Structure 1
Amino acid sequence: MPMKCVLVLAAALISPLALADVYKCVETDPATGQKRVTYTNSRDAKDCERLSRDLPVSSVPGTSTGKAPAASPSSGSFPKVSSDDQRARDADRRKLLETELATEEASLEAARKALDEADAVRYGNERNYQKKLDRLKPFQDAVAQHERNIEALKKELSNLR
């Protein structure tokens, strides 16, 4: 029974706070001329309008920085690249991707060789086959990673013009 009394008392004390008057204040920044809206429960606020209690009010501050939105890439001010420059960039990119692909294929071959060497050895403490699998797991993960990298590089090369 005392718990109910505590809850009723807490609700009675908190409920007037929920029904407090809310004022909307619009201020103009003299330097930039931008308007800023703030909400307050203070009666001392000047040039503020009292809001109806039925309207929902968000207490999360806005994120306006006052900066103009960035121009879209299709706007006239966006820099253009000549077709010769673009072809040269594409050729450089293709060369770079082919170099990365060759490096990744060499790394895959080395990782497979290391996996085969590790798989050929069985230590005396590996009577349980799971111990051997656990020891080989990093080698298998390295092989799988190189295979995924090669697949991604080949896909990237196929997407080039």
Structure 2
Amino acid sequence: MKLRYLFALSCSMLLAAGAQAEIYKRVDENGHVTYSSTPIKGGKKLHLEPLPTMAPPNKGDTADFRVNSETQNRRDNARRKILEDELASEQKALDEARVKLKEGQDTPEVYKTPSGQTFRNVAKYDEKVSALQEEVSSHEKNVEALKTELSNLK
């Protein structure tokens, strides 16, 4: 009976020892690299170190990632302060963008001909006003997003 267990143990050890495959690498004249588990013409056998292993964690080693309410309140207050500061700076940028838009709308684009005649450059004016309106719109969206984020805080 013991002989049977010894035989089964020795067979499993032989199978485990043969589980590590040999790897061959070949680089052709064009620089293409080929890896194989069987010998290939022009290939060299790679001697790879075994991969490091780790023991699985014990079932009793579960980390506790809960945060107490005081710490969470500090984090929430810090987040609220950051969002309020961002909102104030974004509101200031929005006000400045609106002033620039008003100035851009009130200042037409003109060009002069070699003879001295002055004409309005409608295309350049529209392009300038459109870019200024996009800037205002972007700041408005940022302000709304920040207000939404602040309203979601407890």
| Separation (CA, whole Å) in 1 of partners of 2:141 and 2:53 | 42
Q: 1:135 aligns with which of 112, 128, 133?
A: 128
The runs of 5 or more residues in structure 1 that have no matched partner are 1-24, 29-37, 45-64
- Superposed, 1:116-131 pairs within 5 Å as 116-125=102-111, 127-131=120-124
Partner in structure 1 of residue 148 of structure 2? 155
The runs of 5 or more residues in structure 2 that have no matched partner are 1-17, 22-34, 42-50, 112-118
Distance 1:114 1:90, change over 3 A: same
| Separation (CA, whole Å) in 1 of partners of 2:52 and 2:149 | 39
Give the superposed CA RMSD.
Answer: 3.2
Partner in structure 2 of residue 103 of structure 1? 89
* Conserved 8 A contact 2:109-2:121: no
Superposed displacement of residue 147, structure 1: 0.9
Q: Looking at CA atoms only, which structure, 1 or 2, has the larger radius of gyration?
A: 2
Total equivalences in the alignment: 104
Letter in structure 1 aligned against 2:104: A
- Structure 1 residue 76 corresponds to structure 2 residue 62: yes
Distance 1:43 1:131, change over 3 A: closer
Letter in structure 1 aligned against 2:136: V
Partner in structure 1 of residue 37 of structure 2? 40
What secondary structure does 2:66 align onto? Answer: coil
Per-residue CA deviations over 1:54-87 (Å, capped at 9, x if unaligned) read xxxxxxxxxxx8687xx9xxx9314332111101
| Separation (CA, whole Å) in 2 of partners of 1:27 and 1:139 | 66
What secondary structure does 1:76 align onto? Answer: coil
- Structure 1 residue 89 corresponds to structure 2 residue 86: no
Superposed displacement of residue 40, structure 1: 3.4
Aligned-pair identity in percent equals: 35
Partner in structure 2 of residue 27 of structure 1? 20
Superposed displacement of residue 146, structure 1: 0.6
| Separation (CA, whole Å) in 1 of partners of 2:52 and 2:140 | 48
